[in-house]
Amino acid sequence: MSSRRSRASVSEEEINELISRLQTLLPSAPRRGSSSQASTTKLLKETCSYIKSLHREVDDLSDRLSDLMATMDHNSPGAEIIRSLLR
Amino acid sequence: MAAKRTAPPPPPPTPNPIPNRRALASGAGSASPSKRMLAFHFLRALSRISSATPVACRTRTIRRAAYFSMARAASPRRSWSRALLRQVRVRRAVRSRRAVLMRRRVVSAAPAPPLGVRSISAGQITSAPLAGAPPPRQAGEPARADALRRLVPGGGEMEYCSLLEETADYVRCLRAQVQLMQGLVDLFSGQ
């Protein structure tokens, strides 16, 4: 599982490619950035804030879901829908 | 118990869930085949919750179920999913141990549980900071990577290159989970 890499350092290109792939995932418009340190840092910072905002959304949505489920009866149509989706 | 006796108007039986499912299925083809697995795991967890949990900690349970089903649906090759599942197991063991400790503390003065335990039980899903195991720094790795390591589960021990890969996959799965939950909320509130 933990295979040792033969080369000591990962090539710069691979890192840049991974970073550009990350950039396409982010919601902000892709910048024609150079592979300098500054834009990488900014990209990482954006990724951090994006992940944090996604966490917050999950929290918020689970809060709303719990409210919605609380107002539902157990045998109500909502549970029926869940069961039908699972089938 | 504000249970509504008058039944709410029943929605149309089958066609209602189907657009949702089709949306899920169409999304499954484009992004990754795991959207359906995600929906399956999460919905199953939800249906289990609705029957068995008290209302007070339901939000926390739902959130935990969300991350847990996300980790289940992801390929186990991904180390973030393994780290998440490990956290769940640890948390369960910790909770049972804490229950025992609390009971013992009532009887005698037992030592307080360590700090790491408390941070996990506070409901955080981030990777617990490893004491005395510095993350491997690589050439060209910016300082920001540390913050990223803390956010992505299991990120404290990865190399920089794999950290980037894991982050991309984690972001994709998180987004899919958010879309799924949003769809569910819309579905339920639109009744």
Nearest residue in B to A36, CA atom: B140
Pairwise CB contact (< 8 Å): A84 & B11: no
Q: Is the reported ipTM for this assembly greater than 0.85?
A: no
Position B11 pLDDT exceeds 50: no
Q: What pLDDT sits at residue B149?
A: 82
Q: What pLDDT sits at residue B54?
A: 64
- Contact of B28 with chain A, judged by CB distance below 8 Å, is answered with no
pLDDT digits (tens, 9 = 90+) for B92-136: 788 788 888 887 776 665 444 444 444 444 444 444 444 445 555
Q: What pLDDT sits at residue B112?
A: 47
Q: What pLDDT sits at residue A8?
A: 42
Predicted TM-score of the model (pTM): 0.66
Pairwise CB contact (< 8 Å): A54 & B174: yes
Pairwise CB contact (< 8 Å): B142 & A40: yes
The answer to whether B71 and B91 are in contact (CB under 8 A) is no
pLDDT digits (tens, 9 = 90+) for B16-27: 444 444 444 444
Pairwise CB contact (< 8 Å): B8 & A54: no
Averaged pLDDT for residues A32-36: 52
What is the DSSP code string of B69-103? HHHHHS-TTSHHHHHHHHHHHHHHHHHHHHHHHHH
Cα of A32 to nearest chain B Cα, Å: 19
- Contact of A8 with chain B, judged by CB distance below 8 Å, is answered with no
What is the DSSP code string of chain A? --PPPSSSS--HHHHHHHHHHHHHHSSSPPP---SSHHHHHHHHHHHHHHHHHHHHHHHHHHHHHHHHHHTS-TTSHHHHHHHHHH-
- Contact of B139 with chain A, judged by CB distance below 8 Å, is answered with yes
The answer to whether B66 and A58 are in contact (CB under 8 A) is yes
d(Cα A78, Cα B53) in Å, to the nearest integer?
17
Averaged pLDDT for residues B3-21: 47
Q: What pLDDT sits at residue B121?
A: 41
